[in-house]
Amino acid sequence: TAKRAWWKESTIYQIYPSSFCDSNGDGIGDLPGILSKLDYLKGLGVDIVWLSPIYKSPWRDGGYDISDYRDIDPRYGTLDDWDMLVKGLHERGMKIMMDLVVNHTSDEHEWFRASRSSKSSSKRDWYIWRPARYDPDGTRRPPNNWKSIFEGSAWTWDSETQEYYLHLFLPGQPDLNWENPDVREAIFEMMRFWLDRGTDGFRMDVINLISKVPGFPDAPICSPNEEYQLSPIYWANGPRVHEFVKEMNRKVLSKYECITVGEAPFTDDMEVLAAYVLPINEELNMVFHFELMQLDIPPDINGPPLVPRKWKLTELKDVVEKWQNFMREEGYWNSVYIDNHDQPRSVSRFGDDSPAWRARSAKMLAILHITQSGTLFVYQGQEIGMANVPRSWGIEEYKDVQTQNFWDEAMKPRPQNGDTSDLMDGIQKKARDNSRTPMQWNGTANAGFTSGTPWMRVNDDYTEWNLQSQINDPESVWSFWHEALQFRKEHDVFIYGNFEIVDASNEKTFAFIRCLGDIAALIVLNFTDQSCQFTMDDERLRGARLVLSNYDRRGGPAFDGSVGLQGYEGVVYVM
């Protein structure tokens, strides 16, 4: 069984600072706002708080475009506010993780300003510059056909110095050149700055994209109708990535007692991700894989991003089983998440957010969450069952650049005043904006998030769906999460136990057994709104006690080989 560690047993709460709590009425969440909620977080059962980026930023991509790594953006406060926040967390026995965004900077970072100022700048080589290609007729083209993750070419022409620079994301997010040892040293020095000041770890943005294939070859044409091609084979898990991450570990991480999780999109290959995580490699504690997040989008990675696809429960089960069972002996460790700032809300996606089933299915998903092994991530609002924005919202309510670019691309061939309902259907299901609406604290104006005008519209459902209405209601989604997080802490079979799937081909219920020593637990989750009967002939669980239920059946009859489940019911039996 897995070696024990504090960071394996922790619950990490992700805060998207702009949308959490506004202390000064400017409509934007801030650090004093977060400080005012620390008792709340402690009370919920949180061990570590991860803050999405709060550094200086022109905010082209929600702060993932950083113009100064060593300062706080004034919208959030000051370094003094950050110190106070860390002190407040540490006093309460909680820790803090900062977001480390080092695949790219903002184009307003002083490093990039220097780099673009002239070809002879000492920082020219800190980013990735290449000359143009020219067609026989003289038309200027980017150095290769790579597509940006946010639409268009991954290269932007700089007329001043007559070269293109690479950006896997927005033109305002130029990629750093990790091949240059000075760049690495500057990043490591910046990491030491935050660790010395008190951060307890990092969530590392797209850390698996930092090494690109040399020579920048043209990508194979997957979509012949597209001018540019998304080409992760040339920039995801590239040739020197492990060398770079190992160096980061050796020179920085290993000198501190810290927790690390790397974001690793664009691969579901277990061996590829294991290389970052296995302790013997001395890189990171864990990574975020994206396999669950891709269940409800079409498999063509080159296709438009905000298009939904119907998923099957067996597909979800396969993904969960694959990672739960992966390399427990060798020491692979999972991160367990189902919501974050880049994803639509889980209750709208994997549950049912209609009034009849929303609370029930949100609690059922909480059971799925807390009964898996891996470090647990809870995203702000998940604990009160926050849902996607209403379908009635127009495109102007969506603030995310990914949504806007998707819309602009999709509208190009369409008539100005034509029907866009198909587009809006997809956007309402898939846009990142869904998770970025302000936190719903109470039923007063703006959900108690701000006394001013919120930077992003508050979800219309806040009068009914808010923390205040749930915190003292023992039947609420919040109370269930509160109990479930405690419950997990008291049963380490869920953290360290073996995972065994039951009835793998069943499209309605997801059932699995967890075992640790002589403890066995059975989890049965009904993913439909219909009642059903679950039967299992397994001696190990016969007579097990019903210890957690989202229908308040705790202490109900022991498991006798069969249990009837109502819509979206979830039960946990322990032997």
CA-nearest of 265, 475, 489, 270 to 376 is 489
Residue from the set 22, 30, 61, 291 that interacts with ligand TEU by CB under 6 A: 61
Amino acid 21 reads: C
**46 touches ligand TEU (CB under 6 A):** no
Would you give the DSSP letter of residue 384?
G
* Closer by beta carbon to ligand TEU, 83 or else 269: 269
Give bridge partners of residue 304 from the DSSP assignment: none
**What are the C-alpha distances in Å from 65 to residues 53, 73, 222, 437?**
9, 12, 29, 20
**402 touches ligand TEU (CB under 6 A):** yes
Q: Which stretch binds ligand TEU (CB under 6 A): 32-40, 56-64, 155-163, 387-395?
A: 56-64
Residue from the set 15, 41, 98, 206 that interacts with ligand TEU by CB under 6 A: 206
* Closer by beta carbon to ligand TEU, 29 or else 497: 29
Q: Which stretch binds Ca ion (CB under 5 A): 14-22, 145-153, 322-330, 564-572?
A: 14-22
Smallest gap from residue 149 Cβ to ligand TEU (A)? 6
- Those residues whose C-beta lies under 8 Å from the C-beta of residue 221, and which sit 6 or more positions away, are 145, 229
**305 touches ligand TEU (CB under 6 A):** yes
* Closer by beta carbon to ligand TEU, 64 or else 499: 64
* Closer by beta carbon to ligand TEU, 265 or else 426: 265
Amino acid 540 reads: R
Half-sphere exposure of 332 (CA within 13 A, CB side): 18
Residues in the chain: 575
Alpha carbons 104 and 125: distance in angstroms, whole number: 14
> Could you tell me the two tokens for 75?
């919208």
Region 322-361 residues binding ligand TEU, contact defined as CB under 6 A: 341-342
**Residues 47, 205, 400, 569: which is the catalytic one?**
205
For the chain, percent helix, then strand, then coil, each to nearest 5? 30, 20, 50
**Residues 65, 73, 99, 263: which is the catalytic one?**
263
397 given a catalytic annotation: no
- Those residues whose C-beta lies under 8 Å from the C-beta of residue 5, and which sit 6 or more positions away, are none
> Could you tell me the two tokens for 485?
């997080």
**528 touches Ca ion (CB under 5 A):** no
| Helix ranges (DSSP H) in 92-201 | 110-117, 181-197
Alpha carbons 87 and 98: distance in angstroms, whole number: 15
Region 64-83 residues binding ligand TEU, contact defined as CB under 6 A: 64
**261 touches ligand TEU (CB under 6 A):** no
**53 touches ligand TEU (CB under 6 A):** no
30 binds, among Ca ion, ligand TEU, none (CB under 5 to 8 A by kind): Ca ion
Alpha carbons 343 and 425: distance in angstroms, whole number: 16
Smallest gap from residue 348 Cβ to Ca ion (A)? 28
Would you give the DSSP letter of residue 176?
B
Pairing of strands 155-158, 55-56: unpaired
Would you give the DSSP letter of residue 200?
-
* Closer by beta carbon to Ca ion, 76 or else 150: 76
Q: Which stretch binds ligand TEU (CB under 6 A): 61-69, 365-373, 377-385, 528-536?
A: 61-69
Q: Where are the beta strands (DSSP E) in 371-508?
A: 375-379, 498-502
Amino acid 236 reads: A
Using CB under 6 A, count the residues that bind ligand TEU: 14
* Closer by beta carbon to ligand TEU, 170 or else 191: 170
61 binds, among Ca ion, ligand TEU, none (CB under 5 to 8 A by kind): ligand TEU
Region 114-173 residues binding ligand TEU, contact defined as CB under 6 A: 149, 169
Q: Which stretch binds ligand TEU (CB under 6 A): 60-68, 89-97, 324-332, 536-544?
A: 60-68
* Closer by beta carbon to Ca ion, 31 or else 253: 31
Q: Which stretch binds ligand TEU (CB under 6 A): 59-67, 217-225, 473-481, 491-499?
A: 59-67
Alpha carbons 480 and 486: distance in angstroms, whole number: 10
Residue from the set 28, 89, 97, 101 that interacts with ligand TEU by CB under 6 A: 101
205 given a catalytic annotation: yes
26 binds, among ligand TEU, Ca ion, none (CB under 5 to 8 A by kind): Ca ion
Smallest gap from residue 405 Cβ to ligand TEU (A)? 10
**406 touches ligand TEU (CB under 6 A):** no
The torsion angles phi and psi of 448, rounded to 5 degrees, stand at 75, 10
Region 17-36 residues binding Ca ion, contact defined as CB under 5 A: 22, 24, 26, 28, 30
Reduced to 3 states (helix: H, G, I; strand: E, B; else coil), residue 181 is helix
Pairing of strands 163-166, 201-204: unpaired
**427 touches ligand TEU (CB under 6 A):** no
Residues 6 and 372: beta-carbon distance below 8 Å: no
The torsion angles phi and psi of 532, rounded to 5 degrees, stand at -155, 165
Residues labelled catalytic: 205, 263
Q: Which residues bind Ca ion (CB under 5 A)?
A: 22, 24, 26, 28, 30
Q: Which residues bind ligand TEU (CB under 6 A)?
A: 61-62, 64, 101, 149, 169, 205-206, 263, 265, 305, 341-342, 402
